[in-house]
Structure 1
């Protein structure tokens, strides 16, 4: 659960830029603002009505509802266009122990709210019969096999029968809720194929617009010859002639009610009564005429949208973005053109830590809530740090969004290309507002530019590497994922009854911002350094190794291994990687995690790699929890310095002076953060460096003792044995 002062409610919607969803969201945000609640909206971008393999990955944004930050969830069920997506979302929320409310839905066993659609349509019919005195009315509804289509028809039938007016099947026209249905009906009226009634009720605005547009160029005059009324006001009336009379389905009130229900469940406060009934919006398609108040609101919205559309069209955002050569250039371009998004207060770029490698077809490209991520501040309501912030996917965002202030109306939109997810943008509003279709254009430019940047990274890597092979990583010469999988399968086939297969997975550079394109040369050199360490270890145990994705490596060997054997190999491997010169300088301590498995011939090898990946992600999550400490970065700087140079004259008082830290709380805070006292950690750093020198050099024990800060060689040997269970020489000469 969220531990912040303000509750956080997640909203699952689709294509949040659409008019209908914006109405609903403004109601949600307005009520949340009133009740002191934060909102996190999760929305896809395209939301195709049918399954699309190219954009399926955008719906992974809904996996974020598993975050422990969320105190409740609202699902705008009607916005989810195809059944498979609805079913997947229901799977995501199935085991969540928080209040969940569905809007625009009727689902057994769920809290569902909706406007009274039948009552709405009855109000429209009464307007035509009672206000205008019409007796001959047609109804255009949705598909014939759709339940809501028949509900809307029956609402009109009930009013007509109450007034003793004829209403038969010849007055019902089935369509598809889109423009072309209205156009086809207009053709029937124009040609005389269908008798012209006094009025037509179109049960959504799109069909009404199609009817109006087609009739405009013919002899049927609106409203003199025919009155037309729409339903579900979508705010596009001024684009059609005459201005449509329509009925406003009160989506905003539905949004308010959803928030009120969750607030009541969270606090125990009485449920507020909220009227969700809609209202007529007069126009010129009936004789009522346009009401200025509504027209003024629509024109203001359209003018603002037009202005921002022209800004996007006339600006050179796309040219600037695609020419970026580094992630820092890219962030500056986003900052320079953030004004193209109307009323947004904050923009944050959240990328998977290994986003540059997302083009790889990797079995570990599935993400868990423990997946490490990097957050870059683009703009924010208040001043904030420009340093990247690290967090895990399940956190949604860092504990403190830099510069975000204390009010968060956040929109999460996916960043993806070619079927690969890179992360997501967070758009922050400090007032109850939503983004529109113009923002989607900005988003598309941003995503395309990021993909171009990733491709530039690939090209730079290829230029620096040689010995290309279908089964080998280009930078390191290690097996790539496909090559390692093939070799692993062969090794499994060779296992005898007494033998097993040892697997060790290594994840490096946790929470290190070296995915930056402008540090790619450094990253390649570090890759090569790590591969040397892996090859050295693999040679000792007669195994083989691979790089299966960015910063993720694996070693395998067949033999008669025990758990103790594997523990010793992992210890040595961790030492030689973490203390290799480039790694310890650039990445430091607490950035390397490992997992292992011992597998017999009967076990399923395919399950091992995902299982080890999840083990490592769990360890990353534990580290992430440590990093929440306010002084973590300051104390990590001390710790990294100590592990790089343990032979220095380290003591708590000198450290406090050097790093300008308060001595009074230093010892307690250090142990609170790292789970070990400063003095014990100093000993561990010296023993770790001693292990590294024993494994990688031939220098003698006295020299190693001196380099690690020991003035007494015998004391060093006694302490080494006490902590490792063996002597320095035995450790150096062991075969594993």
Structure 2
């Protein structure tokens, strides 16, 4: 895409940074923001990952790599989903990068100076919920289960509980308050301890989140108590799980549509007035009256449908896990990255819909058989896999690592929602996946499994490829060793199967290696060995098979179909080889003169078994050359 296109699209592209995408509430909010953006003529670019990022680890550092690809200058605004990315330094860095290019920053549920902060009004809703239990249902002995001790959300909700009790002239009893750490296990232990004291029995248990509330309901029912008849139970946050629970939980949930509307309103305001001052804007929570407080009738007849829904989801999840497992098992065999890449069309359609692109960096491609274009830039990326209009291709196209440039014009025009996900294994970053998203809400949990499996496959095969390279390559020069030479020759012969073939072969010896080692040291001998290897690679060209058989012995080979073989290649090879050596001698100015003896043949070849005989012919020619070199040098000395 041209720079002019950037200018035209800047005003309608919203960037979103989010983590923990597999969380149902986060996924739902992303979809709600997208819908509101689409209705108002905006496009969404989501840079997402799955880690909490609450503290740096090798894995979270790899996840965070996705935020390095944000085209800040091309965005109408940058949205930071602060409570999903629990990494303050990263959020500050993203904020500063955006503000530096005058892109407004909007934070959601996270206060940051210099930004438009959309604040979720947890507190007033939680107070209303406590009042609903105490004043609306006239409960006189309420207990409170907080989250983590010292956590701001937990302590804020505990303060709200105390305040409402005091407003109603009720005592705040320390033994009625405990910390359940927002999770099942601690909540169960606390609830079981409370129920042991039958003389001080709660008529309501107000929980700081839904997970603890659902656990409390389970413990009560296990002990023979009924909710809400014996004990009212309430939660908070409105998680997805509550729809499958009986009785349906009374809780509080944020108005996601209001968040999306606020975001669009801020962007439109900053477009009209780029100098608009950042400020705080609250978004309300709503009480969802359920059955656990007695506001709704308990419908036990729906339990069968709930169980069927859960069972169906479990079956789908199990089938997905099995598919992932088989994909990993089948695709981690061998060492050829290209063979593995060609098999991805088998699995990608099962995991995602819409067009997609997979980009990998130069470092990932090194030591694999992925062919990098000549002169590949260090900071560029390779378009490795592309699905376009349902068709999968392997473009192997070098591209600048710029997020908008890498979206095809057609995709950008057609889709109002594109998603970037990191492709990495721990801190080793391979690249990322660009996915076109439609109106249907994505299954991010399924996507997380796929991305982890894909990274595992690529990482395993990459390591196997590196080991294979060590197995077939000479460590000093990087040329093939004897094993690698014969293997690559056999592969090239198979490629030309059924065709008449022509072979060029050069047997090459480095002249006077022993003298160089004895006079100047083995380190200088290594320099000469590597120099001849480089000369050989340059002379043979990109299609050459070059090998070091040991010591000062080298072989170079080229193979063509008969009609494609250049008949003057012998002269071309010798000219390139000697030119490179002469240049090296003139540039390096060593105390010794680098030289090589060559024996060359160019003949027809029918099968792989002829290689040894042809190699002997080349060797014989090389030894004749070596004798001539010795004679010439002897006459020079005389």
**What is the TM-score of this pair, normalised by structure 1?**
0.58
- Deviations 1:568-624, CA, capped at 9 Å, x for gaps: xxxxxxx999986634999xxxxxxxxxxxxxxxxxxxxxxxxxxxxxxxxxxxxxx
Shift of 1:419: 3.0
What is the alpha-carbon distance in structure 2 between the residues aligned to residue 578 and residue 403 of structure 1? 42
Asked if 1:88 corresponds to 2:97, the answer is no
Change (3 A) 1:54 1:113: closer
Q: 1:236 aligns with which of 238, 241, 248?
A: 241
Q: Work out whether 1:350 is the aligned partner of 2:325.
A: no
What is the deviation of 1:16? 0.9
Aligned equivalents of 2:92, 2:218: Cα separation in 1: 40
* Residues 1:445 and 1:285: Cα distance change in structure 2 (over 3 Å): same
For 1:369-418, what per-residue CA distance to the aligned partner results, in whole angstroms no more than 9, with x for missing partners? 97110123443456686523332223366252786652142222222225
Distance 2:262 2:41 in 1: 15
* Paired position in structure 1 for 2:290: 283
Partner of 1:345, secondary structure, is coil
Bigger Cα Rg? 2
Relative to structure 1, the CA distance from residue 384 to residue 420 in structure 2 (aligned partners, 3 Å threshold; closer, same or farther) is: closer
- Is the counterpart of residue 330 in structure 1 residue 340 in structure 2? yes
Asked whether the 8 Å contact 1:213–1:240 carries over to 2, the reply is no
Confirm or deny that 1:210 pairs with 2:169: no
Q: Distance in 1 between matches of 2:224 and 2:59?
A: 46
- Give the gaps of 5 or more residues in structure 1: 360-368, 478-517, 523-528, 533-538, 546-554, 556-574, 587-644, 646-689, 699-736
Shift of 1:350: 1.2
- Shift in alpha-carbon separation, 1:183–1:49, aligned structure 2, 3 A: farther
**Counterpart Cα distance in 1 of 2:249 and 2:218:** 11
Pair 95,348 (structure 1): closer, same or farther in 2 beyond 3 Å: closer
1:334–1:446: 8 Å Cα contact kept in structure 2? no
Report the counterpart of residue 319 of structure 2 in structure 1: 311
Report Cα offsets for 1:177-233 as digits up to 9, x if no partner: 222332122122221189322212212112212322333321332222111111101
**Are 2:44 and 2:417, in contact at CA under 8 Å, matched by a contact in 1?**
yes
Mapped contact 1:243–1:290 kept (Cα < 8 A): no
User: 1:261-280, aligned counterparts within 5 Å?
Assistant: 261-268=266-273, 276-280=283-287
Relative contact order: is structure 1 or structure 2 higher (C-alpha 8 Å, sep ≥ 6)? 2
Task: Extract unaligned runs of 5+ from structure 2.
Answer: 369-376, 482-490, 496-505, 510-515, 528-533, 546-565, 567-574, 584-638
Distance in structure 2 (CA, Å) of the matches to 1:99 and 1:358: 42
Q: Residues 287, 103 of structure 1: CA spacing in aligned structure 2 closer, same or farther, 3 A cutoff?
A: same
Equivalenced residue count is 501
Q: Does the CA contact (< 8 Å) of 1:13 and 1:41 recur in 2?
A: yes
CA contact (8 A) 2:384 2:397 kept: yes
CA RMSD of aligned residues (A): 4.8
Distance in structure 1 (CA, Å) of the matches to 2:184 and 2:242: 13
* Paired residues for 1:44-193 under 5 Å: 44-47=49-52, 49-65=54-70, 68-81=73-86, 85-96=87-98, 97=101, 98-192=103-197
- Judged with a 3 Å threshold, the aligned counterparts in structure 2 of structure 1 residues 473 and 422 are, in CA distance, closer, same or farther, namely farther
Deviation at 1:309, TM superposition (A): 1.3
Is the 2:28–2:441 Cα contact (8 Å) retained in structure 1? no
Corresponding position of 1:564: none
SS in 2 for 1:260: helix
Structure 2 residue corresponding to 1:341, chosen from 342, 347, 351: 351
* Counterpart-to-counterpart distance in 1, 2:419 and 2:394: 21
Q: 1:370 to 1:464 in 2, by over 3 A?
A: closer
| Offset at residue 78 of structure 1 (A) | 0.9
Provide the C-alpha distance between the structure 1 equivalents of 2:244 and 2:428, rounded to a whole number of angstroms: 38
CA separation in 2, counterparts of 1:108 and 1:144?
Answer: 27
Deviation of 1:348 after TM superposition, in Å, equals 2.0
Counterparts in 2 of 1:407-422, with a 5 A limit? 407-422=415-430
Q: Which residue of 2 aligns with 1:441?
A: 449
Partner of 2:397: 389
| Shift, 1:264, TM fit | 3.0
- Kindly state the Cα deviation for residue 13 of structure 1 after the two structures are TM-superposed: 1.5
Distance across 2 between alignment mates of 1:195 and 1:105: 40
Match of 2:462 in 1: 454
Q: Give the superposition deviation at 1:314.
A: 4.0
- Paired with 1:585 and 1:301, the residues of 2 have a C-alpha distance of 61
Contact 1:380 1:404 in 2 (8 A): no
SS in 1 for 2:284: coil
SS of residue in 1 equivalent to 2:236: coil
Secondary structure of 1:354's counterpart equals helix
C-alpha distance in 2 between matches for 1:15 and 1:68: 26
Change (3 A) 1:185 1:29: same
Please say which of residues 203-212 and 172-181 is displaced more in the overlay.
Answer: 172-181
Distance 1:14 1:53 in 2: 16
- Measure, in 2, the Cα distance between the counterparts of 1:295 and 1:276: 34
Is this contact kept in 2: 1:335–1:378, CA < 8 A? no
Contact 2:362–2:378, Cα closer than 8 Å, also in 1: no
1:582 aligned residue (535, 541, 558): 541
Alignment of 1:476-487 (within 5 A): none
Which is strand-richer, 1 or 2?
2
Partners of 2:191 and 2:216 within 8 A in 1: yes
Contact 2:342/2:394 (8 A) holds in 1: no
Cα 1:324/1:214, change in 2 over 3 Å: farther
Distance in 2 separating the partners of 1:3 and 1:584:
44
After superposition, the Cα gap between the structure-2 partners of 1:140 and 1:418, relative to the gap in structure 1 and judged at 3 Å, is closer
Aligned counterpart, 2:255: 250
Q: Which residue of 2 aligns with 1:200?
A: 205
Of 375, 400, 412, the residue aligned with 2:408 is 400
Q: Determine if the alignment matches structure 1 residue 39 to structure 2 residue 44.
A: yes
